[in-house]
Amino acid sequence: MTIRKDELCTLKAKWEEVRKQTKGLGEFLRAAKLLDEDFDSHLACHSNLVHYFRATTLEHAINFDKVNEERTRAMTSLSREVRREDLEEITLASLNFKLEKCSAAEFYQLLWQKVQEYQVDDRSYPNLAMYVEYLQITARLDRNAILKEILEFTQEMFQDL
């Protein structure tokens, strides 16, 4: 790690806040990224942490109110352009999502697939695009592995203290 000792002490204090659950893991990782110029290469050895970090980065970038607006607009656009079978599939998926019979990741993945399939201008839905990516990442995360990897990662960071 290429972090000065005083910065490492600051980072260790942030880690203690994570352990006490007064700060989130994503906040700790963002602070580490700011201090360590080799952060990405160090993190790359921990695949679940890489995905977790990407998810938390997206989470901070997404305007969740806009996601709902963009979803409504996308569905309205699709309703005018898709084949009847596809519209039924989207409508059924939406209903199943509302009834909690399918996950958010499944519903939004189908919606986004149809947006791309029908070449609806997906640049008009930046928050929806980020949200779909966020859901895909979080659905694949191995939460037990994240705990193991964060402990390994922090041990590597703080070994010089």
User: In the structure encoding, which two tokens stand for residue 69, read together?
Assistant: 């607006």
Same domain, 129 and 154: no
Weakest-pLDDT range from 44-53, 87-96, 125-134: 44-53
For the chain, the average pLDDT equals 88
Rounded percentage of the chain residues whose pLDDT exceeds 90: 55
Same domain, 71 and 119: yes
pLDDT at 122: 73
Weakest-pLDDT range from 8-17, 34-43, 46-55, 106-115: 34-43
Same domain, 125 and 152: no
Is-contact 161 8, C-beta < 8 A? yes
User: For residue 5, how many C-alpha atoms fall within 13 Å in the half-sphere facing its CB?
Assistant: 2
Mean pLDDT, range 81-86, rounded to an integer: 92
Weakest-pLDDT range from 28-32, 114-118, 137-141: 28-32
Q: How far apart are CA 71 and CA 126, in angstroms?
A: 11
pLDDT in tens, 12-47: 888 888 888 888 888 888 888 887 777 888 788 899
Q: How far apart are CA 94 and CA 132, in angstroms?
A: 15
Mean pLDDT, range 103-118, rounded to an integer: 94
Q: How far apart are CA 70 and CA 84, in angstroms?
A: 22
User: In the structure encoding, which two tokens stand for residue 138, read together?
Assistant: 């979080």
- Spell out the alpha helix ranges (H) of 2-142: 5-19, 25-35, 39-43, 47-61, 64-81, 84-98, 104-117, 126-140
Is-contact 70 127, C-beta < 8 A? yes
Same domain, 90 and 51: no
Nearest in space to 45 (alpha carbons), one of 148, 144, 143: 148
Same domain, 21 and 50: yes
Rounded alpha-carbon distances, angstroms, from residue 87 to 37, 114, 143: 48, 9, 35
pLDDT band at 2 (very low <50, low <70, confident <90, very high): low
pLDDT > 90? residue 68: yes
Domains held by the chain: number = 2
User: Can you give the residue range of the structural domain that contains 22?
Assistant: 5-61+143-158
Same domain, 118 and 94: yes
Same domain, 68 and 136: yes
